[in-house]
Structure formats: structure tokens, C-alpha cells
Structure 1
């Protein structure tokens, strides 16, 4: 990754009152030497499910939320990584590009469940609606064996993230949101589509890139994954080139004008309220 990105990042974070270094997200053929990852297990496919060959006891016995692994990596300032053998949750295997189409069990679990057998989450009104959404989204397939999330400062010279994810509260988010519009000139640059939390981090941002759209994605709305976010915290994922533009242009933006110091003061009050400042 370019050295100038890391050189410019600390001042950028300070001005935005960002407490946590953003994580770069990328696919690679090299397995990380350290970090958090789910336990290995066989990937349950839709074809296996239809033949009755899925060992659901193993799947749920080794269940590990992708965002939970990312949260642990954030706490320890290290990597979280996933693969077709280390996916943790069959839902996230779909969102992160390792398994398509989505399993019928997950379609029903996300919606109305299976009466007498499994209570649904009711995030969608029906299995038919859920299946339509999943089929229309059709996440970008993983182009390499491993999907890695890690702090930007841990990227090597030969590594470049596809995406960059920030985790923060409304005041810094205010700056990121407005700056995304500033560097792109697009008033509709920030999207916030329905998804699992990992879908907001990687599936939707990659889908927009695949469609040739330069979009930021505001996420973290998934109630099932909120336990892995701090109170009031959300995610904000941008394509890496958008971050580069932010680092190059922020000094000419509103971040150095009279409105921003008021927001910074509010960010300071927020830190003190949550025992962070």
C-alpha cells in the first residue's frame, strides 16, 4: 500500500475525532499468519441441503459470527480472516462471496422460520421476499481463497485493500458522510441498504464497485450483530480510492472551516459520556 496513505492517516483521524484505525478489506491467496478466524468445517451448499446431506449439528455447533470475529480483531488490533472452510456462519458465507445461492434454511431463518422446528428472525416478511432479495443481490464471488480484514497500518507494500471500513459514532460519521460527497460530487454517494452486518461491510460495497458505482455504505443495522458494536456505533465502508481522495482533499473541505470545531466538541462530549475521553 502507498506509504503516503499511512503518513496522512493520523492527522485525518485526529481531525475527524476517529478513535479507531480503519480496517482494510481484501481478498488474497495468502493465509494470514495471525488473527481471528472461525473453526474449519465443510461448506453446506444448496445442492447438499436439497439432498439432505448437511450436518446441521456441525454447522450450528461451530457457528461463529463473522462480525464477532472482526470485533475481536478490532479489540486486539489484528486481522480477521475467512475462507470457504472457515466461514463461521452459513449466512456470512453467502454475504462474503464464498457460497451461492443462499441456503433455504437461512432464507427461512431470516424470515418466518419453520413452524414447530425453528423460530425465524422476522427480518423479512416471508421466505419468498428473502429469496428474492438474496438472488437480486447476488454477492461478488470471492476471487481468492481468503477474505481478510485488518488495520491499514498492517498492510504490506505489496498489499492494497479493496475497501476500507470505519467503525465510529455519529459525529465522526457526520464528517465521513459529508466528505464522501465532497470528494465525489455525488449527493447520493452514501447508501444504506438492508443486509446482515457483514453484508454492509463487504457485499454491498463490492456490488456497487462491480456495477461501476463509487459508493460508500453505512451499515451495522443488523439487530443480531449489534452486540458486536459499541453503543451508537455504526460502520462506514468506502472503496480504497475514495479514501485516497479523502486524504488528499480534506484540508480544502469543511473540515478546516468554522462549522467543524463545533462537531469536534460534540465528539469530545460523546467520548466522555462513554468513558473514552
Structure 2
């Protein structure tokens, strides 16, 4: 499966298909059970040409498990979900690190807080608004779009876009609709912007695209693999197919934009 859009925009990284599966693809990269890791590393590996997968034992971190649709893993936060509310906001200076197992950086943030929300109560509201999902499959699979077989149906397709490409994708996602807000930029974790939010949109009659990597921690985690200038642009598969059909009649077919994007990519 190929993408006219990626070709037209001269994209450096391959679009990534996100699929649900009960079987793990042969040779797929996967975290070891219980080992910490950022699931955005798995996405980045797929953008660079590998296949990656995770399940309910190998999602790397509780946020990643929640973000990819393995239920509300925040309930399993050391000391209870209330501690997570503190972790994402103000911290908990009196927290006793000896009572729970957290890697060093997380333990430090537990004391100081990540300061991504102003208060624990606002984090509670944040979690309540998430479309938390328990997917009906064992694995979430990240696969370069070019490796997807015709019989496979991705849940979503994820583009890795620089600012010019992000602007173009936003225009194209609105091209065939009377509305002007067919792209979301939610303040959520990087994994949630490629997982549970697009899952929700995929069920809508007019699904919207979701911009991600506004998550500061995720941006730092993938900077070495993808660079510091990119965002994710996740498109439910229905919208992806529409955008692919629109590409040849949109601005992408015009010579000035072909020249612009190809010269920007070094092509």
C-alpha cells in the first residue's frame, strides 16, 4: 500500500499504519514484558522502516498502555491513580519512593511533578475526558504503510510531518468537507494522539485527523530518531482513503506546490 500524499509532500519518513491484530508479525520489534519504554519509540522504528508491536504485557509504560487502548492503566499507578494526578501536575513532595518501584526519572518527577497541568484536580478532569478504550485484539502493530497487504485494514495511518507538511495535511484533511475544523490538536500524550483519540474518530461519520507530538516528553523521547522539527498527523483509515482520492485534484497537483515540497525535502 502506497501513499500519493507522502510522495507528493516529499516525506522523509514512511507513513505508518496502526493495526489491531491477534497475531504478532514475524520479527516485530517489541519491549520485553515489564520493561519500561516509550511506545513512541516503536512508532519511530516503524517510520524508519521496521515493524513493531505491543500487547498488554509489553506496552512499556502505563501511559502507553492507556494511549494504545489497553484499558485505563493509570489505575495501576504506584500508590494509586491519585498519585498519577500529582505526577502530571504539582508532584507530591512527601511521597516515599521506597514504597513503590519507579525508575529514577519517574521517581524524581513524582516528587516535583511534570507540571503539564496546574493541579491534580485538572489531571483528574483530563483523564475523565480521554476516550479510554480496551481494544478487541491482542496486539497493536505499527507497520510501514508500504508493507501493509491489501487484505489488511489499518485503524489509522500516521504521517510524520515537518511544519510545511503539517500545514499541507491540514488543508487536505478539510478539502472535501464544508467544515473548517476537521483537524484536532489536543493536549494529550504522544501515544494518545496516535491511539485512542484516532480510534474514537474512526467511529465517526466524518472522522477528523489528530495532530500529535505536542507532548513535550514524547518530543524529547523521539528527537534522536525523528529529529526535533516533526509532528505526527494521524488519519483514521476512512479519512486517509478520502485524502488519497482528493490528492490529485487538490493543490498537491499544482506545479508550484510540487516544486516547493520536493525542494524542501531535498528531492
When normalised by structure 2's length, the TM-score is 0.83
Displacement of 1:220 in angstroms is 0.5
1:104-162 per-residue CA deviation (whole Å, 9 max, x = no partner) reads 13332111221133221010111111111112213222111111111112122331101
Alignment of 1:221-260 (within 5 A): 221-227=214-220, 228-229=222-223, 230-257=227-254, 260=257
Task: Rate the CA distance shift 1:14–1:69 in 2: closer, same or farther, 3 A.
Answer: closer
Matched-pair contact (CA < 8 Å) for 2:33–2:58: yes
1:51-78 per-residue CA deviation (whole Å, 9 max, x = no partner) reads xxxxxxxxxxx21111122223333x11
Displacement of 1:197 in angstroms is 0.5
Match 1:87 to one of 59, 83, 99: 59
Runs of 4 or more above 3 Å deviation? 210-213
Residue 106 (structure 2) pairs with residue 130 (structure 1): no
Name the structure, 1 or 2, with higher relative contact order (CA <8 Å, separation 6+): 2
SS at match of 2:176: helix
Structure-1 residue corresponding to 2:106 = none
Aligned pair count reads: 242
Structure 2 gaps, min length 5: 76-80, 96-110
Task: Rate the CA distance shift 1:255–1:211 in 2: closer, same or farther, 3 A.
Answer: closer
Q: Provide the alpha-carbon RMSD of the alignment.
A: 2.0
Task: Rate the CA distance shift 1:129–1:69 in 2: closer, same or farther, 3 A.
Answer: same
Distance 1:137 1:210 in 2: 15
Matched-pair contact (CA < 8 Å) for 1:166–1:236: yes
Task: Rate the CA distance shift 1:170–1:196 in 2: closer, same or farther, 3 A.
Answer: same
Distance 2:134 2:169 in 1: 28
Residue 263 (structure 2) pairs with residue 268 (structure 1): yes
Matched-pair contact (CA < 8 Å) for 1:139–1:207: no
Displacement of 1:194 in angstroms is 1.0
Distance 1:212 1:177 in 2: 19
